Amino acid sequence: MLKKVILFFLLGLLLVIVAFNIWGFATLGTLSPAAEPVRDADANRVVMVFGATGSAGDGLLKAALEDPEVAKVYVITRRSSPRIEAGVSSGKVEMRLHQDFTDYSSLADVLGAVNTVLWGLGVSSLQVDDATYTRIQVDFPVAFVEAWLAARTEGPMSFHYITGMGTDGDAHWALEKSRAERELTDLAETGDLRVFSYRSALIRPAAERANAFHYILEALLRPGSLVITSDELGGAMLEISARSDELPNGTLIDAADSIAYGKAHSSSQP
């Protein structure tokens, strides 16, 4: 009896995975990178990364470190990590220890030089109450963009924000993330800043932090474009920044779109 229950459970799980992949293959991917893009080599000259100690942000930092068009990376963080330390040792990264993510006055000396911001700072709605979630997911990035625009309005400028698949839903976390998307986009309407929101599905950690379970999930979800590695996502962000006239402010990037731009970025690297 137990064997039958396990068998039916595994069969049901397999059917769900297949159905999810079919849905992803059929519905995701609304953007196509231009085959012969006009790329601005200075668009990512100075990059700022938030959330670099997390599984997603670590990969964003990895992408910035490996991109030869990035001359300087500012990492804004509460604590360090092995990749941050390695970046600091290389001379490419400057780490700024920061505690209050609603006040960026301590960054006034560098904000005017920043071209691209990769925002990987976030938290699961299961870990905090609603008020704290709103503070982290909405108040933190909005306060930063306001401070950035007070220091600089001339492009190239791009802000890349991970929101996640399901952000168009009606759960509290989805409503707040979609509100952040709108507020950030509205802030950028009057200048050269472009804001991009990434509605990714599974973001697999970079190879240095991934385990066997991550790779199994990747294998199961890759057919439907439902998984991207964190460094591939970082590459997609940098590629979209470099294509400074290709996508307008407020563009929503789904999981398949990120994969496409990530591949384009890999192809553009020497």
pLDDT tens-digit map of 174-193: 999 999 999 999 999 988 99
CB 139 within 8 A of CB 100: no
Distance set, CA 75 to CA 29, 48, 54, 91, 146 (Å): 31, 6, 12, 13, 18
pLDDT tens-digit map of 86-123: 999 999 999 999 999 999 999 999 999 999 999 999 99
pLDDT tens-digit map of 17-30: 888 889 898 989 99
Q: Where do the domains of the chain lie, and which CATH numbers do they carry?
A: 40-268 (3.40.50.720)
Number of Cβ within a 10 Å radius of residue 111: 19
d(CA 61, CA 261): 17
- The helix (run of H) or strand (run of E) holding residue 108 is helix 108-111
pLDDT tens-digit map of 235-262: 999 999 999 999 999 999 999 999 999 9
d(CA 234, CA 238): 6
d(CA 250, CA 233): 18
pLDDT tens-digit map of 129-176: 999 999 999 999 999 999 999 999 998 999 999 999 999 899 999 999
